[in-house]
Amino acid sequence: MKRKLVVIGNGMAGARLVEEILLRGGGERFEIVMFGDEPYGNYNRILLSNVLAGAHDPKDIFINPLKWYEDNHVKLHAGVRVASVDRAARLVHGDNGVVETYDDLVFAMGSSAFVPRMAGTEKDGVFVFRTLDDCDSIIKYTAGRKTAAVIGGGLLGLEAARGLMERGLQVHVVHLMNHLMEMQLDRMAGAILRSTMVRMGLQIHLEKATSEILGNGSVTGLRFQDGGILDCDMVVISAGIRPNTQLAKEAGLTVARGIVVGDDLASPDDPNVFAIGECSEHDGKTYGLVAPLWDQARVLAERLSARRPQATYHGSKVATKLKVMGVDLAVMGDRESSEPDDEEVTYAEAKRGVYKKVIVRDGRIVGAILLGDPAAAPGLVQAFDRGAEVPDNRAELLFQLDAGAANTTRIEDLPDDTQICNCNGVSKGDILGAVRNGVRSLKVLCDTTRAGMGCGTCKKQVECLLEFAAGDSKVEDPSVHYYVPGVPMTKPDLVEEIRARGLKSVSSVFRELASGKEDPASKPGLASLLKTLWAEEYVDERDARFINDRVHANIQRDATFSVIPRIYGGVTSAEQLRAIADAADKYDAKMVKITGGQRIDLLGIKKEDLPNVWRDLGMPSGHAYSKAFRTCKTCVGSEFCRYGVGHSTELGIKIEERFQGIESPHKMKLATAGCPRNCSEATTKDIGAVAIEGGLWEIYVGGAAGARVRKGDLLCTVSSHDEVLHYTGRFMQYYRENGKYLERTYDFLERVGIEKVRAVVVDDAEGIGERLDAAMAASVAAYVDPWKETPHETQFSEALEPRGELVQLRTARAVGER
Amino acid sequence: MTTWNLGPVDRIALGEGRAYRAGEHEVAVFRTRTGGVFATQARCPHKQGPLADGIVGAHQVICPLHAYTFDLHTGCPKNGTCEALRTYEVEVNSAGDVLLHV
C-alpha cells in the first residue's frame, strides 16, 4: 500500500521537491497530491520581472505545465487554497471543499508580498508584485500611464522598476533606507548602484517613508512622512516578503519568522510534517533565494524516498548572481565584516559602476560583493563555495581570477562564428541557436551542441553564453551534483549507500539506487567506483566497461586499436625491443611511436589480432587506455646524469610495479626526476617526485600539462623511496575515494585544497591513514594483468559471419526485392 | 525481405553488441540486460564509429568514438545533430538463434 504525500504549495520549492522525489523512484512509494493556489502548473518566479519587462512571454517561464502532473501521476489541486490542516485526523481541507488525507505533509507555501502600513492601498493602480496574476494586472494597468512609483529599493523593487521602465514609463523608486539593496550591499556598493541607475534614467528617493497613497479612487501620487509629495499614475509595492505561516500556526506548529524545522526539515511538533522553501525557518534563518530551496528539496527527497532516510540539512551557503536592470551583480555570504580579524579587500571605480569587495576570514572567503564586473564572479563563487584558501597576495583575488576573461573581449561581444569549443568545432552561433530553441541547462546545452564534450576546458565559456542568452531563465540541471548523471546522488552519498547495501555490481546499483533504470553513460563511472571500493570483491560486468577496457587497447579513429606494452620506468632491453619490432611486423602495425609518456605504441592493430599481439609481446599491458594509473615518466637520475642527486629511474620502476592498473576517477600520469632540473617534468604531473640535495624527495601533487597547465603543489618532503611510495599510494587512494568521475587530480586538488589533502595524507588529521593504506594495498593485491584474462568468446571478432546454414526466406511481399 | 540466421544469441555478451556481416549488410546487433535484441546499421553516421563496440543501456547505444547516443528502437540520435541510424527487424527464435530480417 502506497503512503500518501500531500504537498501544500506548487511553487519553486514544492514542485522541485516532487521532481526530486520522483527522480528517486518515490513514485513507487507515494501517492502524491499537491495544492497550489494559483490555477497554473509550476513557473519560475524569478523570471516574473522579465515578463513585466516584456522580455519573456508568460508561457516561457513555466517549468512544469499541467500535463507534467498528469504524466507523472501527481494529483494537483490547481487554484485551490488550503483552508485548514487537521493534524490529529491527518486531513487537509481545501477552500473548495476538497479533503485529502495524508501520511506525510509538506508545507512549501513560500511567502507573500509585505505591504507596509500606509493609507490608500485599496485604490486602483496599487499593486504588489509576487505572482503571475500580479504581473498581468500591472502590465494591463500601464497602458496609457506615464509615471510609476515603486515602493521598495530592494532586489525585487529594482526588478519591478526595470520592467516598468522597459514599458516606457518614467519610474521613481522610493526607499526607506539610506542605500539601495541594503540586504545584499554595503553602503558603498549601494551608492555606486544608485548612480548607475540614475544614469539609466531612474529617479531614486532614499530615506522616504510613504504615509499615504493619494488619489480619488485611483492613484495620483504619494505623500511622504516628511510632507513631500510625488505625482504618479500607479504604485507597485515591493517592500519585502513575509513567509506564509498562518496555516501552519493554526495547525499548531511552532512558527517563529518561518515554520520552524530541524535538520531533518520536520517540524519539532510532528515528525510527519515538513516545511521547505521560503515559508520555513532552519537554524534561525529564512531564505529568499532559490539555491537553498533546492538544497532543502534534495535533502527532503532523500529522506522521503527512503533512499537516505537519515539525510540532514545544515543550512546553505548563499551565493547569487543577480541581474538588476542590466547591471551585473554577484553577492555571496556576509555583506560586512563582523569578526575583529576579518580582512576586507575592496576596489571601487564609481564612474564605471564597478565595485568589488571580498571579506576574508582565516584565509577563506566569507563574503563578497561584485558590482559591474561579471567576469570575476564565477571564480569567486567557486572559491567561496569550496572554501578554498585565498592567495597571499589578496589583489589576485580581485584581479587574477578574472584575468583570462578581462584580457580578451567579453564573450558576448564576439562575432557569432567564433569557435568556442575547439574540440568539436562548435561556434558561438550554434550555442546561441540552441538556447533560442529552448535549451536552459548547461548539461543539455553541452549534449545538444556537443560543446564542452571534448577536453572540457570551454565549459566556462559555454556557461557564460548560456547566462548571456538565457539570463535568469537558466536552470541548473540537478545532475551536475551527481557522481554520474543516471544515479541521483553525490559521490559521498553514493559511496555510503554502496557500502551500506553491499552493492558490488553496476547492475545492482541501477536496481537499488536508480529505480532499475539503466543509464549507459553512467556505466563506466560506476564500474570504476565499484572497483575502487571493492577491489577483489567487485563483481565485474563487462558491458559496463568502455570498449578500451573490454579489449585492453585504445580505440582509434578508424576502429583499429593501439597497443602499448608496459615498460617499467621507461627502461627497456634489446630483447623487449626485438619482441616489439617483431610484433609490429607480424601484425602490420601502421605506425610505431614513442608516446608522450616514454612508452612504445603500436598503432593500427586490428581488433581480432589483439590477443595474439599480447601473447607475442610477452609483456604486461601498459594501461594506456583506462582511467587508471598510466605511467611513471623518469629521467635517468643519478646513475648516469652528472647532475642527478636521486635514483629516479629505480624509483619510477618501483612506482610503476606497485601501482600498475590502479583504477581512479581519471587517468594518473606520474614522473620522477633525479634533480630539480626536472627533465621528466615531474612538477606538472598528477604526482611527481623530485630529488633534491641531502638525499630528500619532494612530492608534488595536482600538476598538469594537458588541457590546462598547472604546477603541482608540494605535498611533503621525504627521505626515502619507501616514503615516496607510501604517500603516493595514500594520496591516490584519497583521490580515488573522493574525486568526482573524470575529475583530474588538478581539479580535485583545487576543489579540496592542498591544506586539506596534506592534513589527511601526511598528518593523518582524520585518522583514516591506515584505512587508506589498507584499501590501496588491497587494490594492488587484486591486480591481474588484463592481457591474461579470458574474455567473452566473440569479444575480439571484428564482424561475425552468420553461423551454420544460411537460411534465406522469401516472403510473398518481398518478391522483387534483392 | 531476406532473413538471416545469425546464430546463437549468446554469441553476443549480455549488455553488449556485436557486428555481423550478413551478405552486403553490416549490422550491429545488441542484447540488452532486460532481454531486448536490437539491430542497427553497424557504423555511426557521424564518423563511422563501430557501434557494436559502444556502451549499451536501457535500449540506447553510445558510439565509442565521440559519444553520439542513439535510441535502439527508432535509431534516432539522443544528442547532437546526427543522422538517425537505420534499424532492422530482429528476433530470437525458439532455438535461441538470432534471426535478422533485411
Do the Cβ atoms of A144 and A34 come closer than 8 Å? no
Give me the pLDDT at residue A238, please: 94
Residue A580 CB partners (closer than 8 Å, separation 6+): A565, A592, A600, A602, A617
B-contacting residues in A 522-581 (Cβ below 8 Å) = 522-524, 541-544, 546-547, 550, 555, 557, 559
Closest C-alpha among A697, A701, A691 to residue A718: A697
Q: What are the phi and psi torsion angles at B23 (to 5°)?
A: 65, -125
Cell of A333: 555570504
Q: Bigger pLDDT: A374 or A238?
A: A238
DSSP 8-class letter at A369:
E
Minimum distance, in Å, between the CA of residue B89 and any CA atom of chain A: 14
Give me the pLDDT at residue A806, please: 58
Instruction: Please tell me which residue of chain A has the smallest CA distance to B56.
Output: A520
Closest C-alpha among A465, A376, A479 to residue A414: A465
Q: Indicate if the pLDDT at residue A403 is higher than 60.
A: no
Closest C-alpha among A117, A116, A94, A84 to residue A36: A94
Closest C-alpha among A148, A193, A200, A196 to residue A173: A148
Judged by CB atoms closer than 8 Å, whether chains meet at B69 and A520 is answered as: yes
Burial of A408 (0-12, 13-18, 19+ CB in 10 A): exposed
Contact of B96 with chain A, judged by CB distance below 8 Å, is answered with no
Minimum distance, in Å, between the CA of residue B38 and any CA atom of chain A: 15
Residue A774 CB partners (closer than 8 Å, separation 6+): none
Give this prediction's pTM.
0.69
Give A336-345 pLDDT, tens digit per residue: 888 889 999 9
Within 13 Å of residue A348, how many CA atoms lie on the same side as its CB? 11
Do the Cβ atoms of A534 and A499 come closer than 8 Å? no
Give me the pLDDT at residue A808, please: 56
Judged by CB atoms closer than 8 Å, whether chains meet at B19 and A798 is answered as: yes
Minimum distance, in Å, between the CA of residue A32 and any CA atom of chain B: 27
For the ranges A281-285, A383-387, A810-814, the lowest mean pLDDT is seen at: A810-814
Give me the pLDDT at residue A407, please: 41
Give B66-82 pLDDT, tens digit per residue: 999 999 999 999 887 78
Considering CB atoms only, which of B2, B34, B42 is closest to A818?
A: B2
Contact list in A for residue B14 (CB cut-off 8 A) is 541, 543
Q: Bigger pLDDT: A732 or A40?
A: A732
Q: What is the rounded CA–CA span in Å between residue A242 and residue A240?
A: 7
Contact of B73 with chain A, judged by CB distance below 8 Å, is answered with no
Give me the pLDDT at residue A807, please: 54
Q: Say which residue the cell 504588489 belongs to.
A: A128
Judged by CB atoms closer than 8 Å, whether chains meet at B1 and A810 is answered as: yes
Q: What is the rounded CA–CA span in Å between residue B27 and residue B11?
A: 14
Q: Which residues, listed in sequence order, are joined to residue A592 by a DSSP beta bridge?
A: A602
Cell of A275: 516545511
For chain B, what is the HEC assignment?
A: CCEEEEEEHHHCCCCCEEEEEECCEEEEEEECCCCCEEEEECECCCCCCEHHHCEEECCEEECCCCCCEEECCCCCECCCCCCCCCEEEEEECCCCEEEEEC
Do the Cβ atoms of A371 and A356 come closer than 8 Å? yes
| Average pLDDT for A74-93 | 96
Minimum distance, in Å, between the CA of residue A615 and any CA atom of chain B: 23
Give A753-807 pLDDT, tens digit per residue: 999 999 999 999 999 999 999 999 999 999 999 999 888 999 999 899 887 555 5
Contact of A811 with chain B, judged by CB distance below 8 Å, is answered with yes
Q: Bigger pLDDT: A598 or A398?
A: A598
Minimum distance, in Å, between the CA of residue A546 and any CA atom of chain B: 6
Q: Indicate if the pLDDT at residue A572 is higher than 50.
A: yes
- Band the pLDDT of A325: cuts 50, 70, 90: low
Contact list in A for residue B60 (CB cut-off 8 A) is 520
Helix (H) or strand (E) holding A508: helix A506-513
A799, B4, B9, B27, B36 from B93: Cα distances, Å? 21, 12, 9, 18, 13
Q: What is the rounded CA–CA span in Å between residue A325 and residue A626?
A: 49
Do the Cβ atoms of A424 and A453 come closer than 8 Å? yes
Judged by CB atoms closer than 8 Å, whether chains meet at A801 and B33 is answered as: no
B-contacting residues in A 408-427 (Cβ below 8 Å) = 424
Judged by CB atoms closer than 8 Å, whether chains meet at B61 and A801 is answered as: no
Q: Bigger pLDDT: A399 or A817?
A: A399
Burial of A642 (0-12, 13-18, 19+ CB in 10 A): exposed
Judged by CB atoms closer than 8 Å, whether chains meet at A555 and B65 is answered as: yes
Cell of A465: 553564453
Give A438-491 pLDDT, tens digit per residue: 888 888 898 888 888 877 778 888 988 888 888 767 777 777 788 998 998 989
Contact of B22 with chain A, judged by CB distance below 8 Å, is answered with yes
Judged by CB atoms closer than 8 Å, whether chains meet at A799 and B20 is answered as: yes
Q: Considering chain A, what is the average pLDDT of its residues?
A: 90
Contact list in B for residue A522 (CB cut-off 8 A) is 57
Closest C-alpha among A142, A154, A160, A145 to residue A231: A145
- Taking chain B (102 residues) in consecutive chunks of 10 residues, what is each chunk's mean pLDDT? 90 96 92 95 95 95 94 89 91 93 89
Contact of B93 with chain A, judged by CB distance below 8 Å, is answered with no
Considering CB atoms only, which of B13, B18, B65 is closest to A557?
A: B65
Instruction: Please tell me which residue of chain B has the smallest CA distance to A800.
Output: B20
Judged by CB atoms closer than 8 Å, whether chains meet at B33 and A507 is answered as: yes
Judged by CB atoms closer than 8 Å, whether chains meet at B33 and A818 is answered as: no
For an interface test with B, the pick among A443, A547, A560, A608 (most B C-beta atoms closer than 10 Å) comes out as A547
Q: What are the phi and psi torsion angles at A429 (to 5°)?
A: -60, -40
Contact of B83 with chain A, judged by CB distance below 8 Å, is answered with no
Q: What is the rounded CA–CA span in Å between residue A691 and residue A345?
A: 39
- Band the pLDDT of A404: cuts 50, 70, 90: very low
Q: Which residues, listed in sequence order, are joined to residue A731 by a DSSP beta bridge?
A: none
Considering CB atoms only, which of A795, A798, A803 is closest to B6?
A: A803
- Band the pLDDT of A334: cuts 50, 70, 90: confident
- Band the pLDDT of A409: cuts 50, 70, 90: low
Residue A783 CB partners (closer than 8 Å, separation 6+): A660, A661, A662
Helix (H) or strand (E) holding A236: strand A234-237
- Band the pLDDT of A350: cuts 50, 70, 90: confident
- Band the pLDDT of A59: cuts 50, 70, 90: confident
Q: Which residues, listed in sequence order, are joined to residue A261 by a DSSP beta bridge?
A: A282
For the ranges A220-224, A380-384, A638-642, the lowest mean pLDDT is seen at: A380-384
Q: Say which residue the cell 546454414 belongs to.
A: A805
Minimum distance, in Å, between the CA of residue A555 and any CA atom of chain B: 8
Contact list in B for residue A520 (CB cut-off 8 A) is 55-58, 60-62, 69
Contact of B38 with chain A, judged by CB distance below 8 Å, is answered with no
Q: Indicate if the pLDDT at residue A629 is higher than 50.
A: yes
Judged by CB atoms closer than 8 Å, whether chains meet at A546 and B64 is answered as: yes
Instruction: Please tell me which residue of chain B has the smallest CA distance to A455.
Output: B66
DSSP 8-class letter at A194:
H
B-contacting residues in A 164-203 (Cβ below 8 Å) = none
Minimum distance, in Å, between the CA of residue A560 and any CA atom of chain B: 10
Judged by CB atoms closer than 8 Å, whether chains meet at B12 and A543 is answered as: no
Q: How many C-beta atoms surround the C-beta of residue B88 within 10 A?
A: 19
Contact of B9 with chain A, judged by CB distance below 8 Å, is answered with no
Residue A91 CB partners (closer than 8 Å, separation 6+): A85, A99, A100, A101, A102
Q: Bigger pLDDT: A202 or A324?
A: A202
Contact list in B for residue A804 (CB cut-off 8 A) is 5, 7
Helix (H) or strand (E) holding A689: strand A687-692
Give A263-280 pLDDT, tens digit per residue: 999 999 999 999 999 999
Considering CB atoms only, which of B19, B22, B57 is closest to A518?
A: B57
Contact of A447 with chain B, judged by CB distance below 8 Å, is answered with yes
Pairs of residues, one from chain A and one from chain B, whose beta carbons lie less than 8 Å apart: 132
Q: Say which residue the cell 632540473 belongs to.
A: A677
Judged by CB atoms closer than 8 Å, whether chains meet at B15 and A544 is answered as: yes
Helix (H) or strand (E) holding A769: helix A769-781
